Amino acid sequence: MTPSTPTTNPATNPTTNPTTNPATNLATNPVTNTSTPAAVPFRRRPFVGGNWKMNLLAAEVVALAESIAAPSGGDGGAGGVDVVVFPPFPYLATVRPVLKPGVQLGGQDCSAEKQGAFTGQVGAAMLRDVGCASVLIGHSERRHGLGETDALLSRKIGQALDAGLVPVLCVGETLAERESGRAHGVIDAQLRGSLAGHAESALATLVVAYEPVWAIGTGRTATPDDAAEAHRTVRRTLKELYSARFSEQVRVIYGGSVNARNAAELLAREEIDGGLVGGASLVASDFAAIIAAASRRS
């Protein structure tokens, strides 16, 4: 089923994005003076997601949504950041009309099925129909909390792509896996399993969120070095699965207790293209500080 609205995807619509190749997410470099390397932006467009999880009621949702602004260029122009909020399902249609220009809407999950007798599930085409540009796939609270498998997540990615949504695939190891030296093997296996059956050509918009389970909602953040190393693992796997070019164009963002204080240090690393933010995204000023840190990459 093809959703009737919206007819353009703000994350990928080339007509709203004159300086970024939508197929690759690679910004063209607007800096002509190459003698000032510090001013040269990182090549991939930053992506900051606010995952509101199962929090807030309608009045709070509206107040929070109204307070979020994308940096100039947030609607696709140069210097911008893809800013996406992921409200609970019942409030997607409430949030959409109050979002400021350039702030995008995303779903926290979608069904692995297209439509039919699946009580309580939400189809990717429905998310697109209410204005979502992207969808989280395989958040650890679903992998570990609800037992979602890589095979299931692969099917969800297929539904997201069919509906024209940007899939934000979450991967990450548990504390036990990290402490036993298996973190990178786990990340590699999750990527291979979740992306199984999907061709490089279909995955042009893919975003990968590295979210170590032990850092989510715990106040314990991966060090920038550890996060950067994990992101290199993600790219290595993508290179093995697909191509060097693909592995360089996919945005890999970090999630796990990102806050207004640690965002700048994390997002200063070339490997870290943005953040997926839970708790701090519920506080407008903290989320704004994280977006500002991301905008300094562009």
Strands (E), 142-206: 166-171
| 238 binds ligand PGA per the rule CB under 6 A | no
Greatest Cα pair distance in the chain: 61
Find the binder of ligand PGA among 3, 74, 274, 278 (CB under 6 A).
278
Q: How far is the CB of 263 from ligand PGA (least distance, A)?
A: 11
Size of the site for ligand PGA (CB under 6 A): 13
Nearer to ligand PGA, 159 or 259 (CB): 259
Nearer to ligand PGA, 194 or 257 (CB): 257
| 6 binds ligand PGA per the rule CB under 6 A | no
Q: How far is the CB of 48 from ligand PGA (least distance, A)?
A: 11
Strand bridging mode 20-21 / 26-27:
antiparallel
Helix, strand, coil percentages in the chain from 3-state DSSP, rounded to 5: 40, 15, 45
| 134 binds ligand PGA per the rule CB under 6 A | no
The region that residue 3 occupies, defined by phi over 0 for left and psi between -120 and 50 for alpha, beta otherwise, is beta
The one-letter amino acid code at 98 reads V
- Going by C-alpha positions, the residue among 76, 72, 89, 69 that lies closest to residue 131 is 89
Q: Which residues are catalytic?
A: 139, 211
**Minimal CB distance to ligand PGA: which residue?**
278
Where does this chain touch ligand PGA (CB under 6 A) — which range of 39-47, 62-70, 95-103, 250-258?
Answer: 250-258
CA distance 169 to 147: 16
Contact 286, 263 (CB under 8 A): no
| 148 binds ligand PGA per the rule CB under 6 A | no
Strand bridging mode 251-255 / 207-210:
parallel
Q: How far is the CB of 21 from ligand PGA (least distance, A)?
A: 27
Q: Could you give the dihedral angle defined by the CA atoms of residues 215, 188, 287 and 284, in that order, rounded to the nearest 10 degrees?
A: -80
Tokens coding 269: 């690393």
Q: What are phi and psi of 91, to 5 degrees?
A: -110, 5
| 279 binds ligand PGA per the rule CB under 6 A | yes
Q: What is the DSSP letter of 94?
A: H
| 257 binds ligand PGA per the rule CB under 6 A | yes
Find the binder of ligand PGA among 186, 255, 271, 286 (CB under 6 A).
255
Q: Could you give the dihedral angle defined by the CA atoms of residues 142, 188, 196 and 53, in that order, rounded to the nearest 10 degrees?
A: 20
215-234 residues near ligand PGA, rule: CB under 6 A: 216-217
Query: Mask: binding to ligand PGA, 51-90, rule CB under 6 A, as x and -?
Result: x---------------------------------------
Find the binder of ligand PGA among 276, 290, 291, 294 (CB under 6 A).
276
Site of interaction with ligand PGA (CB under 6 A):
51, 211, 216-217, 255-258, 276-280
